[in-house]
């Protein structure tokens, strides 16, 4: 599924986009499941374990910005990450044994969907080694207008975790005015068709602007790790941990390498999701 050129691009730039990873039949079924799940949000007035809501959400005009951990709510999200194409891409990039760390479905409502400020996923979930990446499966076409994922090429190769704290607390974002060493203007948009998929390294700096278009934008994100990359925290139960193997075999022998780590503690003042963490920000890039 990934050519040598694409593999080199992942090493060099920290990301790669694979085209037509998921076929129309499966995409159609996923969209139906998502529509069904979203209809439940018509009864929800505050964030809960399933939904993260836009500030403009109301019962009469529901606006969900994230379905949290969709793989826990419906088996179709497992089906997606275990398709042959997806597993081929993952094993090319991470090796034969791959575990799911987490998942989220980010939705940007038309004319509204929240921006996500620049950050590194690694700042949220450091592991014993950095064979960890995020899969961004496009459930809609991604255009320059609907708030596509924006990636800063090569930023994963800087052996550094940028500061994601503000006033002594984790805030889930990099302050643009305090990070002169990052060239946000070089960021590349992940433009593509529904069914295309981006894979970005866990230390790659990325973010996304508001959705200015007339259509909603849905991006399904999977956090994936080589089986020997163990998370530094939020581990409780080996059976649950191993049940998240996407392919290959689990191990109880983590591989520890010299990777830069900053722990996301003390925790964000606003808990719940990256959007909530970032509500406290006083220095923003995206309007």
Ligand X SMILES: O=C(O)CCC(=O)C(=O)O
Beta partners for residue 221, in sequence order: 104, 136
Binding residues among 140-159 for ligand X as defined by CB under 6 A = 149
Q: Shortest distance, CB of residue 260 to ligand X, whole angstroms?
A: 19
Instruction: Give the nearer residue to ligand X in terms of CB position, either 131 or 218.
Output: 218
Q: Shortest distance, CB of residue 274 to ligand X, whole angstroms?
A: 5
Per the CB < 8 A criterion, the answer to whether 141 and 194 are in contact is yes
Using CB under 6 A, count the residues that bind ligand X.
10
Instruction: Give the nearer residue to ligand X in terms of CB position, either 109 or 208.
Output: 208
Residue 109 binding ligand X, by CB under 6 A: no
- Cβ burial of 212 (10 Å; 0-12, 13-18, 19+) is middle
Q: Shortest distance, CB of residue 200 to ligand X, whole angstroms?
A: 9
Residues ≥6 apart with Cβ < 8 Å to 180: none
- Burial of 4-39, coded b for 16+ CB within 10 Å and e otherwise, reads eebeebbeebbbbbbeebbeeeebeebeeebeebbe
Find the binder of ligand X among 106, 128, 155, 247 (CB under 6 A): 106
Instruction: Give the nearer residue to ligand X in terms of CB position, either 91 or 208.
Output: 208
What 268-272 contacts at long range (C-beta under 8 Å, 24+ apart), as own/partner pairs, is 268/169, 268/170, 268/171, 268/172, 269/169, 269/171, 272/47, 272/52
Instruction: Give the nearer residue to ligand X in terms of CB position, either 66 or 131.
Output: 66
Q: Shortest distance, CB of residue 60 to ligand X, whole angstroms?
A: 25
Q: Shortest distance, CB of residue 69 to ligand X, whole angstroms?
A: 12
Q: Shortest distance, CB of residue 250 to ligand X, whole angstroms?
A: 25
Instruction: Give the nearer residue to ligand X in terms of CB position, either 116 or 152.
Output: 116
Binding residues among 25-44 for ligand X as defined by CB under 6 A = none
Q: Shortest distance, CB of residue 135 to ligand X, whole angstroms?
A: 12
Find the binder of ligand X among 18, 41, 105, 274 (CB under 6 A): 274
Binding residues among 190-249 for ligand X as defined by CB under 6 A = 206, 208, 219, 221
Instruction: Give the nearer residue to ligand X in terms of CB position, either 91 or 133.
Output: 133
Kindly list the residues in this chain that would bind ligand X in the complex (CB under 6 A).
104, 106, 116, 121, 149, 206, 208, 219, 221, 274
């Amino acid at each position: 599924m990934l050519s040598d050129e694409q593999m080199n691009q992942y090493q060099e730039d920290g990301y790669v986009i694979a085209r037509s990873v998921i076929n129309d039949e499966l995409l159609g079924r996923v969209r139906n499941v998502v529509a069904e799940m979203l209809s439940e949000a018509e009864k929800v007035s505050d964030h809960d374990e399933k939904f993260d809501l836009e500030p403009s959400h109301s019962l009469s005009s529901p606006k969900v910005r994230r379905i949290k951990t969709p793989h826990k709510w419906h088996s179709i999200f497992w089906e997606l990450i275990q398709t042959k194409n997806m597993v081929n891409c993952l094993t090319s990039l991470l090796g034969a044994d791959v575990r799911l760390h987490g998942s989220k479905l980010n939705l940007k409502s038309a004319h509204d969907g929240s921006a996500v400020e620049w950050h590194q996923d690694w700042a949220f979930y450091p592991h014993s080694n950095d064979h960890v990446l995020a899969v961004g499966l496009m459930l809609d076409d991604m255009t320059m207008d609907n708030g596509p994922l924006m990636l800063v090429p090569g930023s994963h190769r800087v052996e550094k975790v940028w500061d994601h704290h503000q006033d002594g607390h984790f805030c889930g974002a990099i302050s643009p005015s305090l990070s002169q060493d990052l060239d946000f203007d070089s960021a590349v948009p992940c433009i593509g068709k529904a069914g295309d998929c981006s894979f970005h390294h866990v230390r790659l700096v990325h973010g996304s602007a508001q959705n200015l278009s007339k259509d909603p934008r849905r991006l399904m994100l999977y956090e994936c790790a080589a089986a020997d990359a163990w998370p530094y925290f939020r581990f409780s139960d080996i059976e649950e941990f191993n049940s998240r193997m996407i392919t290959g075999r689990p191990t109880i022998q983590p591989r520890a390498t010299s990777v830069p780590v900053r722990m996301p503690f003390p925790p964000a003042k606003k808990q719940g999701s990256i959007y909530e963490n970032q509500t406290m920000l006083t220095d923003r890039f995206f309007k």
